[in-house]
Structure 1
Amino acid sequence: MRPLLVLLVGVIASSTASIFIRSAQSDASSIVIAAYRVVIATVLLSPVVYVRQRRVLIGMGSKQWILALAAGLFLGLHFLTWVTSLEYTTVASSTVLVSSLPIFVALLSPLFLNEKPAPVLYIGMTLAIIGGAIMALSDTCVVAGIQFSCPSWQSFSQDSALYGNGLAVLGAITGAGYFMIGRHMRISLPLLTYVFVVYGMAALVMIVIVVMTGLPIGGYGKETYVWFLLLAVVPQLIGHSSFNWALGYLPVSYVTIAAIGEPVAATALAWVILHESPTLLQIVGGMLCLTGIGYASSRS
């Protein structure tokens, strides 16, 4: 199969996540949705890992398990914050802002990975910050002709969309933490084992959170369980696996730029399926943000 075709499949599959989440949110809380996503993905991977890489799994050392737990914690929080953000803000704002993950990886790499960021990072980061700020304003401010109006600061600070946008950014930060820990783990572990272990740890973290919050684990409608399954299979296993597979055949810059197509496709799907059309500010802010992310990622 051609790598570019697999990459296209990955973009389309990943972009369905926000649609499945929105559909499930009519019956289940965001915490439960995030938990089911990683639990089902872990269960589906179990037989494959057992057959192909159980010796690698058994041979993991204590340091690797500690790193796996830390990565799982960050991954669980990443899904939790991003899924919850979709309750409060639009698909366009949420998916674009959470896609700023590469910017945070580049910013935090000097501290945790001893990697010096390239100068072009700051150009991309500036564009992404400006675009992100416009996206944050887009749900409360209005452009009418040549007039631009925003509510008072008090009204703006209390707006639920601002809270949702903040959660999406937090999702990008926690995702960056997961990614950086993964960089260490991938040195000594095959991809399949790494993904299985981290998903499993994220599943444990999310189950603990569900139990602590007292939310019901079961008792949902049949349709809701279908959304849970689709969320785990399509964007999680097919989408993420396609990107990881393509990395073995294409430059990282190709895969990074392709991944940026996810929020664009997600916004288009939300427009068609959820009748959630993007505003002018969302389009402008999203283009600036994604351009900045793409520029920094492809040249770093």
Structure 2
Amino acid sequence: MQSSPRRRPLDPLTTGAVALAVAAVSSAAPLIAFAAAPALAIAFWRNVIATGLVGPWALLRRRAEFRRLLTVDRREGWLCVLAGVALAAHFATWMPSAQLTTVATATALVATQPVWQGLIARWQGRRLPGTVWVGIGIAVLGAVLASGSDFAVSGRAFAGDLLAIAGAIFAAVYTALGERARVTVSTATYTTICYAVCGLVLLLGCLVGRVPLGGFDTETWLVIAALVVGAQLLGHSMFNYALRRVSATTISVLILLEAPGAALIGWAWLGQLPQPLALPGLGVLLLGTAVVVLGGARAGRRVAPPPVPAEAGPPPV
């Protein structure tokens, strides 16, 4: 069994990068809830703008790789495309959920991505340790408790809960596809294809659903810019930077801080708090998700083959 790579001690810069990343992704749901625009339009613009920022650099530096994906390695190219479709489905479900239910509930439910990642791995034939199954059971119980309290109060909030869970499932599919594509595809090329395909799918969704893509006030455009700079680019970039010194498992657990962080921002800025009956359920849900992540990490250290799904890295937000 190979020993895990030795990581250098944390330095103030890495600690600051992680704290900044958590704050950046925690701001996503409150910003979406605040914006005076359809969630689907916001999702479209944040991906199109992000593609415009990373795409030209990738096309300039990775032209040979793009040609290879179009001619020789078409399978990997299709994996990137399918990942972009799954990412669009994630945004199309989770982002509206933040406008239908509370920020805290939407963020906590979408944070269950590692749970669905584990179930996808089991469907692919990987064995999951008992600890992971225990964590999945705890997380499902928490989701039932949290969503049940919303169902008793508001059908709108319950619909938001279901969309947030769907967003977590699509995020898991996106990560599973990306895990396979990233074996041979660089980060810049993969990101460019994913964001471009995601933006195109969301554009089609907006056209079919007659969702307006313009006419927003200045405040809404500033929100979209903040989402691009914060959750879309800065948050994930800082997490990826920290991976040089911090394990993927630790990053996955730290991402769970997005839920209380978003809840705090939603309370201070928007005056939102989840239903009192939902709070215990949200706590149980996050506990179960943490058990899945940590249990999967232990299995990954014992077994040399493919890493446990929870190690796949930061989910999209």
Q: How does the TM-score come out when normalised to structure 2?
A: 0.84
Alpha-carbon deviation of 1:9? 1.2
Asked whether the equivalents of residues 31 and 210 of structure 1 are also in contact (C-alpha less than 8 Å), the reply is yes
Asked whether the equivalents of residues 102 and 273 of structure 2 are also in contact (C-alpha less than 8 Å), the reply is no
Give the corresponding residue for 1:106.
118
Unaligned runs of 5+ in 1: 142-155
Q: Does residue 220 in structure 1 map to residue 254 in structure 2?
A: no
Alpha-carbon deviation of 1:55? 3.0
> 2: CA distance between counterparts of 1:171 and 1:283?
20
Alpha-carbon deviation of 1:222? 2.0
Deviation sequence 1:66-122 (CA, Å, 0-9, x none): 11121111100101100111222111110000100100000111223x322121111
- Paired residues in the alignment total 282
> 1: CA distance between counterparts of 2:49 and 2:55?
10
Alpha-carbon deviation of 1:162? 0.9
Give the 5 Å matches for 1:84-95.
84-95=96-107
Give the corresponding residue for 1:63.
75
Answer 1 or 2: higher relative contact order, Cα 8 Å, separation at least 6.
1
Give the corresponding residue for 2:53.
44
What is the letter of the counterpart of residue 58 of structure 2? V
Q: Does residue 18 in structure 1 map to residue 29 in structure 2?
A: yes
- The 3-state SS of whatever aligns with 1:20 is helix
Alpha-carbon deviation of 1:207? 1.0
> 1: CA distance between counterparts of 2:192 and 2:82?
14
> 2: CA distance between counterparts of 1:107 and 1:140?
26
Give the corresponding residue for 2:307.
none
Match of 2:254 among 246, 255, 258: 258
What is the letter of the counterpart of residue 181 of structure 2? M
> 1: CA distance between counterparts of 2:57 and 2:256?
29
Asked whether the equivalents of residues 97 and 165 of structure 1 are also in contact (C-alpha less than 8 Å), the reply is yes
Match of 1:162 among 158, 162, 165: 158
Give the corresponding residue for 1:273.
269
- The 3-state SS of whatever aligns with 1:170 is helix
> 1: CA distance between counterparts of 2:141 and 2:122?
23
> 1: CA distance between counterparts of 2:253 and 2:268?
24
- The 3-state SS of whatever aligns with 2:277 is helix
Deviation sequence 1:21-57 (CA, Å, 0-9, x none): 1122x2x211111111211111111233234433323
> 1: CA distance between counterparts of 2:241 and 2:61?
17
Give the 5 Å matches for 1:136-155.
136-141=147-152
Give the corresponding residue for 1:180.
176
> 2: CA distance between counterparts of 1:212 and 1:186?
32
Match of 2:143 among 116, 122, 132: 132
- The 3-state SS of whatever aligns with 1:280 is coil
Give the corresponding residue for 1:116.
127
- The 3-state SS of whatever aligns with 1:250 is coil
Asked whether the equivalents of residues 32 and 99 of structure 2 are also in contact (C-alpha less than 8 Å), the reply is no
Deviation sequence 1:260-298 (CA, Å, 0-9, x none): 001110000001000112343232111111111011101
Unaligned runs of 5+ in 2: 1-11, 297-317
Q: Does residue 248 in structure 1 map to residue 244 in structure 2?
A: yes
Deviation sequence 1:158-179 (CA, Å, 0-9, x none): 7111111000000011111101
> 1: CA distance between counterparts of 2:63 and 2:226?
26
Q: How does the TM-score come out when normalised to structure 1?
A: 0.89
Give the corresponding residue for 1:149.
none
